[in-house]
Structure 1
Amino acid sequence: MTEDGRTAGFMALPGRTEDRREAFAGALADVVRVLGLDVPAGSESAGGLTWEHGARAGLREVWRDGVTLSDEAFDALLRAAVHDPNPSFNRQFVEPALNAFGHRRVQAALLAYLLTGTDPERAGAARAWYWSALDLRMPLVRAEHPAPADDGTDVVNEWYEAALREFVHNEHVDVRRCVLPLLPLRKSSYPAELHDLVDEAVAIARSHPDEYIRHRVEDQVGD
Structure 2
Amino acid sequence: MGGDRTREENEGDSLPAFMALPAPEAADNDPFCQCLADVVRVLSLDVAREPGIDDYGWGQRVRAALREACEHDAAFPEQSFEVLLRAAVYDANPSFNRWFVEAALNAFGRRRVRSRMIDYLRTGTDTERAGAARAWYWTALPLDHPQLRAAGPAKSRAESDDSAVAIREWNEAALREFVDNEHLDVRRCILPGLPLREYAYPPELHHLVDKAVAIARSHPDEYLQHRVEHQVRG
Alignment counterpart, residue 54 of structure 1, candidates 55, 58, 61: 61
- Residue equivalent to 2:13: none
- Residue equivalent to 1:29: 37
- Residue equivalent to 2:168: 157
TM-score calculated relative to the size of structure 1:
0.89
Q: Does 1:196 align with 2:203?
A: no
Aligned mates of 2:108, 2:156 — CA distance in 1: 7
Q: Does 1:103 align with 2:113?
A: no
- Provide structure 1 residue ranges, at least 5 long, that are not aligned to the other structure: 1-10
After the TM superposition, which residues 1-223 of structure 1 pair with which residues of structure 2 at under 5 Å, given as runs?
13-44=21-52, 48-144=55-151, 145=153, 146=155, 149-152=159-162, 153-222=164-233
1:13–1:127 contact (8 Å) kept in structure 2: no
Post-superposition CA distance 1:154-175 (Å, at most 9, x none): 1211111100000000000000
1:39–1:51 contact (8 Å) kept in structure 2: no
Aligned mates of 2:114, 2:46 — CA distance in 1: 30
Aligned mates of 2:97, 2:24 — CA distance in 1: 13
Distance 1:141 1:15, change over 3 A: farther
Post-superposition CA distance 1:25-83 (Å, at most 9, x none): 011111111001232221237x7344333222211210122321122111100000000
What's the CA shift for 1:102? 1.4
What's the CA shift for 1:23? 0.9
| Identity, % of aligned positions | 57
Matched AA of 1:151: D
Post-superposition CA distance 1:112-157 (Å, at most 9, x none): 0001100010000000001111111112221224355223321211
- Residue equivalent to 1:5: none
Query: Is the partner of 1:130 in helix, strand or coil?
Result: helix
- Provide structure 2 residue ranges, at least 5 long, that are not aligned to the other structure: 1-17
Query: CA RMSD for the aligned pairs?
Result: 1.8
Query: Is the partner of 2:149 in helix, strand or coil?
Result: strand
Matched AA of 1:154: V
Matched AA of 1:44: G
Aligned mates of 1:183, 1:53 — CA distance in 2: 29
Distance 1:13 1:68, change over 3 A: farther
TM-score calculated relative to the size of structure 2:
0.85
Whichever of the two has the greater Rg, that structure is 2
Matched AA of 1:113: Y
Aligned mates of 2:193, 2:58 — CA distance in 1: 32
